[in-house]
Amino acid sequence: MINEANFHPSTELLQKFAAGTLSGGMNVAISAHVELCELCRKQTSELEAKATIDWLQTPADDNGAEYSDMIANIISHPQLNKAEEKKSILSEMHMLDHSVSLPKVLAKAAAEGLVWKKLGGGINQAQISLDDETQCEFIYMQPGSQTPVHKHQGSEVTLVLDGSFSDELGQYGRSDFIMRTSIDVHQPRSDEGCLCFAVLDKPLTFTKGIARLLNPLNNYRFKKALSQNTNF
């Protein structure tokens, strides 16, 4: 991949990713970045090796559990001969004049279809539900768009998938991983348009104006609607 990321998850975050202690939504965002970023891929496998060592060094006690039945049950299962075929999954998102290849995990997360809503100011949002702790969404900022000024109750992670955007602190392009916390008040804008994946700890609070929900439409439900209609 030619475009190297300039903004990466912190080592602490990658450590938790390797150890498996993060929420589903955060894991998905980091996994997607790691797929696009060789540097973080390397670091993750190093951190997995470290996590293994930590795991082996942690005192382990299972209160003398008796496992002979479990072992007998396990070895009664057949073994696998080869890895199951990976199901083919959606991997590209078609924009107006080009298509964007999605990291595998995001393709999987979006496989059931995205429901795009128009927010104010040229911002489009498609939420996906991954866990109870985070709000996850694809964001498409149209060229020349700007989000309302907002701050966060928790943290917000944004992974750029296509195009670019900027805020008070910098300019971000494909594969950049940006983390904002509750102390940041920012107003992202995009001149050329931008597709992102975002994970929010808690929903945003808007500090100025109201992002009004405009005609949230989607063909997914619409198809359902058409088929239901035949019963009329």
Partner 1 sequence: MADISLAMDTIMMGTFPAKKEAQRKQARDSSVPLAANRLDPDSDESLLIAVGTKQSTDAFNELFNRFSKRVFAHGMKITRNEQLSKDLVQEAMLTVWQKAPLYDLDRGTAQSWIFTLTRNRCFDMLRKQKRQPSCVSADDIWPGEFEDVDAHGKKEHEFIEVEISLVEKYLSQLPAAQQAVVEQVYLFDRTHEEASALLEIPLGTLKSRLRLAMGKLRQLIGNEND
Binding site for Zn ion (CB under 5 A): 5, 8, 37, 39-40
* 128 in Cβ contact with 185 (< 8 Å): no
Task: Please report whether residue 120 would count as binding partner 1 according to CB under 8 A.
Answer: no
What token pair was written down for 130? 């991954």
Q: Whose Cβ is closer to partner 1: residue 5's or residue 109's?
A: 109
51 binds, among Zn ion, partner 1, none (CB under 5 to 8 A by kind): partner 1
Distance CA 176, CA 72 (A): 49
Task: Please report whether residue 62 would count as binding partner 1 according to CB under 8 A.
Answer: yes
Residue 52: C-alpha distances to residues 9, 28, 49 (Å):
21, 21, 5
Shortest spacing between CB 188 and partner 1, in angstroms = 17
Per CB under 8 A, contacts with partner 1 among 6-25 are 19-21, 24
Task: Please report whether residue 220 would count as binding partner 1 according to CB under 8 A.
Answer: yes
Candidate residues 3, 10, 11, 111; the one interacting with partner 1 per rule CB under 8 A: 111
Among residues 64, 3, 13, the alpha carbon closest in space to that of 37 is found at 3
What token pair was written down for 232? 């009329």
5 binds, among partner 1, Zn ion, none (CB under 5 to 8 A by kind): Zn ion
Conformation bin of residue 122: beta by default, left when phi > 0, alpha when psi is -120 to 50: left
Contacts of 223 (CB under 8 A, 6+ apart): none
Task: Please report whether residue 166 would count as binding partner 1 according to CB under 8 A.
Answer: no
Distance CA 7, CA 13 (A): 13
Shortest spacing between CB 14 and Zn ion, in angstroms = 8
Shortest spacing between CB 4 and partner 1, in angstroms = 15
Q: Whose Cβ is closer to partner 1: residue 42's or residue 205's?
A: 42
